[in-house]
Structure 1
Amino acid sequence: MQFSLSEEEYLIQDTARKLAEDRIAPLADELDKGEGREAFLANLKLLAENGFMGLNVSPDHGGTGAGTVAFALAVEELGRACASTGVTVSVSNMVAEVIQAVGTDEQRATYLPKLTDGTYSAGAFCLTEAGAGSDPSSMRTQAVREGDDYVLNGAKLYITSAEYAGVFVVWAVTDKSAPKGKGITCFLVEAGTPGLVIGKAEKKMGQTGSATNEVLFQDCRVPESAILGRPNDGFRIAVGELAGGRIGIASLSLGIARAAMERAKAYVKERRQFDKTIAEMQGVQWMIADRETELEAAKLLILQAAALKDAGKPFAREASMAKLFASEAAQKATYTALQLHGGAGYIQDYPLERLARDARITTIYEGTSEIQRLVIAREALKSV
């Protein structure tokens, strides 16, 4: 079994780490307070210029073509510095990948260079609705054919990067008579299209630097050429892309957790109680040992899923395992790190309370922990 990274993967990881430390981490606290949007968008442009918005996109379309392992390594480094930046990059890569995978030559030529070079600050993935979260096949947004166009009406909820996305991948029901999940079509809708309305910004517990909005479609007219993939095949596309997106969120979770544990380890080696550092206390050592073991296991699960995806092999089960384990490990790591800081961890002068808030959503978006368990169990039972 080969555990070593390629030279290119090491280079991408190192570049991501340097950019994260120099440009992204210094902005994290400001973004958490709802400030620094202009600098945030400048950082996204810089990341695009360095190839991070198309890590698994062919160089023919302006991407890096480095693969999913490189993507996972990069998102971990970005998440370690700023979860809001990390999730923006993860979702934008997911948008670029779905366009590359099922888009026409014209769609690839139109949208991929703009995503990968930073012309678009981000891409947005419009799937979730108020009544269709864990069960996206229950969506109510519709696209009705009128001549050579489709007219979209409905509302999507909790859409990452909606305020500054250049293109939206949108799912809508096109055949109401089809069995559940079978009459859904995927569309590409450009920002600024009449009838595409960015709704209210959500006030969130964490990852506040990343915009999350309702997106409304009010008689939003798009041409037939906006269909991504085949008509009525959108649900299959969504399921496939969610599996890849889970690798990104697992990597983001790991980055947040590593940031928390790095601070905790430094703190316990300095903090003295009972005439010794608390790092010398066995109880503290065991807490650190457990969390470090879990994070190493999370890393291996993530890299396994990423390597399978790069090899063109089935990876949905492994991606769900990685996302489940890494996101839940991040909950334990951030709260352990906060606990090890004592009262100081609860104060905003230290980053632990922000990291704990940022980590909380990772067990929810891109499929809840409960959904991951259903996916894993379904796949496991197939082999019996």
Structure 2
Amino acid sequence: MDFSLTHEQDMLVSSLRTFVEKELQPHEFAVDRADAVSPELAASIRKKAIDLGFYAFNMPDSVGGAGLDYLTQALVERELGRTSWALHVFVGRPSKILMACKGDQIERYLKPTVRGELVDCFALTEPGAGSDAMGIRTHAVRDGGDYVINGSKHFISHAETSDYVILFAVTGEEEFCERKRKQVTCFLIDKGTPGMTMHRGPHCTSLRGYHQSEIFFSDCRVSAQQILGEEHRGFELASEWLTAGRVMVAANNIGRAQRAFDMAAEWAATRHQFGKRIGEFQGTSFKLADMATEIRAAKLVTLFTADKLDKGTMTDGDAALAKLLATETLGRVTDHAVQIYGGMGLMDELPIERFWRDARIERIWEGTSEIQRHILSKEILRRYS
């Protein structure tokens, strides 16, 4: 399969790399130290991304997005992955689930979000329901033309900078395979709605400056008009969004792994010990060979999976395989990079220790490595059943 870039893709990748290197990377150290991105910097990044046509690159052109295919989106994510999530999050990627908006929701939420006038956050995870999404307990009870919501969410990324919440809540039960199964509905809830409060969650070792929040609902009343999609069909929407998102997480990880590798290779080629470049010692040279091999494999698998997504042939197992391989590759690459740098690899004067810290969360969010292995192994065994 030919994954050589078209002229348009090559220009896009080149432009994005320049944008990341000039507009985002220079702020990494300060953001990591402060554990915050100033509102002024966030607004500046968002405006530049909009002006350059990078904003909402994941959305169809029919609603004002860039209309890129999934393979090209993966190339974009790979370039953005060369810097921190705390910074490149402001090159907005609205939740694709918003394509389920209908009626007034299109002008109220979908199009303003694509234009960068509003920012959404995705609220599914709860304290007692991480990998087990069906275990959520936040519930919404019908009361006339409204729903009354009670419960809580946590680990909700960038909620503090969002304008509204895409919330998943239990709205009923149904019989499924002789068992009771929860029915879940998706709601659009504006920040400031009475009964909904949020605050920053515990401080995370990874991704300083990219915060997660806890959201609480106490008799929060919303209109039935705020349902996104259909009542009781929220998980179908979530599954569609999460599966494609895992491919983009994989692409993002490849960009960061490549940057860590490039820095480690340069260090190995210029650092001398015992009268030789450290890259000439087998203990270092073999690490570089392994890093290059794994990055190449993860890149090809991710691009292949994105191509299948474009063709409509990608399975859940395909997406799981790409995320599993790319995130675990990043973990090994950054660990090798620290080892190649030696003691300096753990000093905060250099970005290597930050790459190492930030890599750890990738094997947890968007579905843990264990969940990816579970999805993939079930799909493999199903072929022989």
With normalisation by structure 1, the TM-score equals 0.93
What is the correspondence of 1:120-199 to structure 2 with a 5 Å cutoff? 120=118, 122-176=119-173, 181-199=181-199
Alpha-carbon contact 2:25-2:83 (below 8 Å) kept: yes
Query: Cα RMSD (Å) of the superposition?
Result: 1.8
Does 1:13 pair with 2:13?
Answer: yes
Q: Name the SS of the counterpart of 2:27 in structure 1.
A: helix
Work out the CA distance in 2 between the residues paired with 1:23 and 1:284: 33
Secondary structure of the equivalent of 1:185? Answer: strand
Deviation at 1:300, TM superposition (A): 1.1
Structure 1 pair 71/379, CA: closer, same or farther in 2 (3 Å)? Answer: same
Q: What does 1:297-312 correspond to in 2, within 5 Å?
A: 297-312=297-312
How far, CA to CA, are the matches of 2:98 and 2:362 in structure 1? 25
Cα drift, residue 147 of structure 1: 1.3
* Aligned match of 1:220: 220
The more displaced of 164-173 and 327-336 is 164-173
| Contact 2:173–2:182, Cα closer than 8 Å, also in 1 | no
Q: Residue 215 and residue 49 in structure 1: after superposition, are their counterparts in 2 closer, same or farther (change >3 A)?
A: farther
Shift of 1:268: 1.1
Measured after TM superposition, the shift of residue 290 of structure 1 is 0.5
* C-alpha separation in 1, matches of 2:320 and 2:68: 22
Deviation of the 1:255 alpha carbon:
1.9
Q: Is the 8 A contact 2:200 2:211 kept in 1?
A: no
Residue 361 of structure 1 corresponds to 361
Query: More displaced, 353-362 or 53-62?
Result: 53-62
Shift in Å, 1:177: 5.8
Conserved 8 A contact 1:130-1:156: yes
Residues 134-187 of structure 1: CA distance to partner in whole angstroms, max 9, x if unpaired?
011110001111111112211111000100112321100000466555411111
Report matched runs for 1:1-384 at 5 Å: 1-33=1-33, 34-38=35-39, 39-86=41-88, 93=93, 95=95, 97-100=96-99, 102-120=100-118, 122-176=119-173, 181-384=181-384
Which amino acid in the other structure matches residue 342 of structure 1? G
Unaligned runs of 5+ in 2: none
Closer/same/farther in 2, CA of residues 169 and 237 from structure 1, 3 Å limit: same
CA distance in 2, matches of 1:221, 1:276: 69
Give the 3 Å change call, closer, same or farther, for CA 351–361 of structure 1 in structure 2.
same
Q: For residue 144 of structure 1, what is the amino acid of its counterpart?
A: V
Q: Distance in 1 between matches of 2:89 and 2:325?
A: 18
Query: Residues of 2 paired with 1:128 and 1:171: CA distance?
Result: 9
Cα distance change on mapping 1:181 and 1:15 into 2, 3 Å: farther
Aligned-residue offset at 1:116: 2.1
CA contact (8 A) 1:201 1:213 kept: yes
Instruction: Please give the alpha-carbon distance, in whole angstroms, between the structure 2 residues aligned to 1:6 and 1:194.
Output: 50
Q: Distance in 1 between matches of 2:71 and 2:194?
A: 38
Deviations 1:340-381 (A, max 9, x none): 001111111111111101110000000000000011011112
Contact 1:9 1:69 in 2 (8 A): no
Aligned residue for 1:175, secondary structure, equals strand
Please say which of residues 139-148 and 196-205 is displaced more in the overlay: 196-205
Name the aligned partner's letter for residue 362 of structure 2.
Answer: T
Tell me the CA shift for residue 256 of structure 1: 1.9
> In the alignment, is the contact (CA less than 8 A) between 2:257 and 2:334 conserved in 1?
yes
- Structure 1 residues 57 and 328: alpha-carbon distance in aligned structure 2, compared to 1, 3 A threshold: same
How far has the Cα of 1:272 moved from its partner? 0.4
CA distance in 2, matches of 1:334, 1:213: 27
Change (3 A) 1:352 1:111: same
Shift in alpha-carbon separation, 1:218–1:46, aligned structure 2, 3 A: farther
Q: Tell me the number of residue pairs that the alignment of Structure 1 and Structure 2 aligns.
A: 379
Task: Give the conservation status (yes or no) of the 8 Å contact 2:197–2:216.
Answer: yes
Cα distance, 1:117 vs structure 2: 2.1
In structure 2, what is the Cα distance between the partners aligned to 1:111 and 1:30? 33
Amino acid corresponding to residue 116 of structure 2 in structure 1: G
Q: Percent identity at matched positions? A: 36
Please list the CA deviations of residues 270-321 of structure 1 after superposition, one character each: whole Å capped at 9, or x if unmatched.
Answer: 1001111112223211110101110111111111221111222233211111
Distance 1:46 1:88, change over 3 A: closer
Q: For residue 324 of structure 2, what is the amino acid of its counterpart? A: L
Measure, in 1, the Cα distance between the counterparts of 2:77 and 2:55. Answer: 11
